[in-house]
Amino acid sequence: MRSVKFALSSKNATAWGAAVLLTSAYLAENKKANQLLAELPDSFVGERRAVCQSLFLGALRHGFRVRAALNPFVRRAPRPELEAVLLVAGYELLDAPEEKAPKIIHHAVEQAKALAKASESGFLNALLRKLPAALEAQSPEKSAAAYYSHPAWLVSHWEAVFGADACKALLEWNQGIPDTYLRIYDPADVPEGLEATEWPGFFRIRSAELHSDAVQALLAEGRAYIKDPSTRRATALLAPQPGECVLDLCASPGGKAFDLAHRMQGEGCLVAVDLPGKRIERLEENLNKLRSEKLQATILPSDVLELSKEAFAEQALPDSYDAVMLDAPCSNTGVIQRRTDVKWRLAPKDIPACAKLQQQLIHSAARFVKPGGKFVYSTCSIEPEENQVLIDAFLKSKSGQAFQLLESVHCLPWECRHDGATAFLLQRSL
């Protein structure tokens, strides 16, 4: 398949056509949604980019529902190019008033002629015309997984973990459109007109406001960061003090480093660790906004599991810290509303696989907490296996016996009304 940027290089490329291309690429390639959106050419700006992104993410958000509606009419899955048309048109049908259905179908059929073989055009036309009635016939009572557009295994899993009512609330939450939030660290920096939220320092922001000169200046100078209110939980638990030495593990892209540096009032030593590669580039870009005469902010490219005291010594850095943050890689089940393609990529084996890696990471991270020091383990997963169960096992282990659990936070998105997050504050004995 041609690259997205090359395929959309024509000035005549439409937002609808771009959304179909992105959806097709998502179905055919091993890439995340945000990676494909990043491939859009620079010419895709303003409304054209916004419409394209809305259609693409909408197709993924409601894709399992559209697939379930079409399943009785197909013997085998269509080619990615054709299925992309069906998913995008299906989202449009769900999002628009019923009277607009004929126009949506006609437009999709006409646009798809460039993608379909002659023998496929009639098949596609027939499927699209059956789709409105098939979608209308769906209900949560018949199949919650199909209606709320989630994999059946994941719905069954959540019903077992949280119960049927909470599972339904989670599914409804995940199908919503996420808000964008701006974290502004100094109240004196808040531009006029921003919508305040119940979470101090967080402002709900629209696209036009986000691209304003005032907001862009705050972002460029490191005085603001685009992040969800859930991110405040872990850094608030760790609560590093001015002058402390803080270790931020699995740190890229640097959002928690921003919070940590501001809680340190820009004074102390902050060391950020992440895997070598492109993640380090983004981390460097963000940490460069934080560095000052009083704040030493250093990046150490390394796998946390291979991190050694010698690696710290090579950069003249301390090998034990007052405060350690481990924001561990996870299944991301708390952020599916914001990252709707997670439910496409997640498989039943991934949750226990994440827990196994997290157990290794927490043991590795614990080595660098100084006696009396604080240690926060956090995830954006809502799975007990990746959180409470893991912490209980760690505290019973040989290395975990040196720690005690001081506090924990469990944010379930349908209750907190923002992304899900879990965090645990541990302290090492003196």
Per residue in 252-262, pLDDT (tens digit) is 999 999 999 99
8 A C-beta contact, residue 258 and residue 235: no
Domain definitions of the chain by residue range: 4-138, 181-226, 230-428
Reported CATH class of domain 4-138: mainly alpha
Q: Is the pLDDT of residue 2 over 60?
A: no
Residue 119's pLDDT is 79
Give me the mean pLDDT over the 311-333 stretch.
97
Give the least confident one: 8-17, 171-180, 351-360, 400-409: 8-17
Q: Which two tokens stand for residue 319?
A: 């090998």
- More confident call, 77 vs 303: 303
Q: Are strands 321-327 and 245-249 parallel, antiparallel or unpaired?
A: parallel
% residues pLDDT > 70 (the chain): 97
Q: Is 327 helix (H, G, I), strand (E, B) or coil?
A: strand
Q: Are strands 181-184 and 202-204 parallel, antiparallel or unpaired?
A: antiparallel
Using DSSP, how many helices (H) and how many strands (E) does the chain show?
Answer: 21, 11
Residue 324's pLDDT is 98
Give me the mean pLDDT over the 130-159 stretch.
98
Give me the mean pLDDT over the 4-13 stretch.
64
Q: Is the pLDDT of residue 366 over 80?
A: yes
Give me the mean pLDDT over the 363-380 stretch.
98
Residue 118's pLDDT is 78
8 A C-beta contact, residue 305 and residue 361: yes
Give me the mean pLDDT over the 179-203 stretch.
96
Prediction pTM value: 0.94
Residues 348-362 have pLDDT tens digits of: 999 999 999 999 999
Give the least confident one: 55-64, 114-123, 392-401: 114-123
Q: Is the pLDDT of residue 1 over 60?
A: no
Tell me the average pLDDT of the chain.
Answer: 94
Give me the mean pLDDT over the 34-59 stretch.
92
Residues 390-399 have pLDDT tens digits of: 999 999 999 9
Q: Is 61 helix (H, G, I), strand (E, B) or coil?
A: helix
Q: Is the pLDDT of residue 154 over 70?
A: yes
Q: Which two tokens stand for residue 53?
A: 């992104």
Q: Are strands 268-274 and 202-204 parallel, antiparallel or unpaired?
A: unpaired
Which CATH number is 230-428 given?
3.40.50.150
> Looking at the chain, how many residues does it have?
430
119: phi > 0 → left, psi -120 to 50 → alpha, else beta; which?
alpha
The band of 6, judged by pLDDT with boundaries at 50, 70 and 90, is low
The band of 9, judged by pLDDT with boundaries at 50, 70 and 90, is low
Q: Are strands 224-226 and 421-428 parallel, antiparallel or unpaired?
A: unpaired
Give me the mean pLDDT over the 81-106 stretch.
96
